[in-house]
Every structure is written in C-alpha cells, then in structure tokens.
Structure 1
Amino acid sequence: MAHDIEIVEKTPAEYDYKKRRSDRLMRSQLMMFALMIFMTLISFAAVQAGFSAYFVVPVVLLLAAVQVGLQLYYFMHMSEKGHGLVAFFMYGGVLVAFLTVLTFVTIIWW
C-alpha cells in the first residue's frame, strides 16, 4: 500500500513573495530584538545612575510592560493572520492581570 504523495510546485512569483515576506519578518524581529536590548540597557543605566527610586521604579516597570507587549505581539506571532482568538484571550488575560494588580494596589494604598 503506497501512500499517495502530492507534490505541489510553486511558481517563481510565489517563491519571490514567500522570500520577501520571510525577509520582512526577519527584519522586524531583529529590529524588535534590538529594541528590547536597548530598553533593557536603559533600565540598567537608570538603576546604575543612582536616580531616585521614585523615578527608577516606574520607568523600569513601564519599560517592562512595553517589552511584554512587544514580545507577545512580535515574537509570539500575534501580528499574523489567524491568531485572532488566541490574541483575544492573551490580551484579555493581560487586562485581567492589570485590573487585579490595580485593585490590590488601590486597596492597599487607599
């Protein structure tokens, strides 16, 4: 019993499209990686410079939140088509986590 294997040949235009798309995706991921490293270096520099903790802590937390959002969007491929439901639940979870932290901070400091 031989398995029927269907071989699909692609046109040169399809290969070119896939290569351009792959190059674009790789370029955006490298740019985002460089941006993540830059934001991490900013955080280290802010701590090392000896700024006030009232300045450093919010800046580091803000940069961390931006990094989490960018990593979910770019490195988990949420920007691609077909991930709508997964993205909805992930961003919904982030919203619930944010509201939970906000609630506890409000309860503690109020």
Structure 2
Amino acid sequence: MANQQINSGNPRVDIEYRRRKSAEEMRYQMVSFAIMIFLTLIAFATVAIKGFTAWFTAPFIILLAVVQVIFQLYYFMHMSHKGHEAPSLFLYSGLLVGIITILTFSTIIWW
C-alpha cells in the first residue's frame, strides 16, 4: 500500500506525467539541436572543400537551410503540438505565397 501512486487521471494535475513529457520534449530538442549543428558543419564543409562546384554548393546549402527551418518550426517553436493549427495555417499560407512569388519572378526574368 505504501507504493501506491496517486494518479488523478488529469494530465494537467498529474505531476509525474508532466515531468515525463517535459523530459521527452527536452530530449527531442537536444537531438534536434545536435542534428542542426551537424547540418551546419556539413554546410561549412561543403564550402570549404574545393572539389564541389557552385552549381552543387548553393542548392545543397539551401536544402540544408530548409531542413533546419523545419526542425526549428517543429521542435523549437513547438508546431508539432496540439493547438497550433492556426499559426501553422498562416505559416504554410505565407510559404505558399512566397514560393509562388519566387517562381513568378524567376519565370519573368528567365523568359
């Protein structure tokens, strides 16, 4: 009877549940941070190595930047949690408008 845990069934009140969730969230953030540092080192190495051309280096660094933005949004800005649907809608709408604008101006300049 001494080992019996009090579990209220309410996640907002259950302290042990909140501690586990906080530890899990911190673990995700640390792993994400390590991955972002690794991607940054890859970008620096790509520029430092003289064997790569500019036609490879520039798109590759942009790709790494896009991956880092995704990590930033989902892990550091908590966009993966419930209740962030409206900010997600606005971010993705802005992204869509930005991509369409870039494509529009690129086609105007190239043709």
What is the TM-score of this pair, normalised by structure 1?
Answer: 0.84
Match of 2:94 in 1: 93
- 1:58 matched to 2:89? The reply is no
Moved more, 63-72 or 24-33: 63-72
Amino acid corresponding to residue 49 of structure 1 in structure 2: I
Residue range with higher mean Cα deviation, 48-57 or 61-70: 61-70
The 5-angstrom pairing of residues 63-74 of structure 1 reads 63-74=64-75
Q: Name the CA distance, whole Å, in 2 between partners of 1:84 and 1:69.
A: 16
1:1-12 mapped onto 2 (5 Å cutoff): 12=6
One-letter amino acid of the counterpart of residue 32, structure 1: S
Aligned-partner Cα distance in 1 for 2:6–2:58: 53
TM-score, with length taken from structure 2: 0.83
Partner of 2:85: 84
| Greater shift in the superposed pair: 52-61 or 66-75 | 66-75
RMSD after superposition:
1.4
Instruction: Calculate percent identity across the aligned residue pairs.
Output: 53
The CA distance in 2 between the partners of 1:12 and 1:83, in whole Å, is: 31
In structure 1, the gaps of 5 or more residues are 1-10
Aligned length: 100
Change (3 A) 1:23 1:103: same
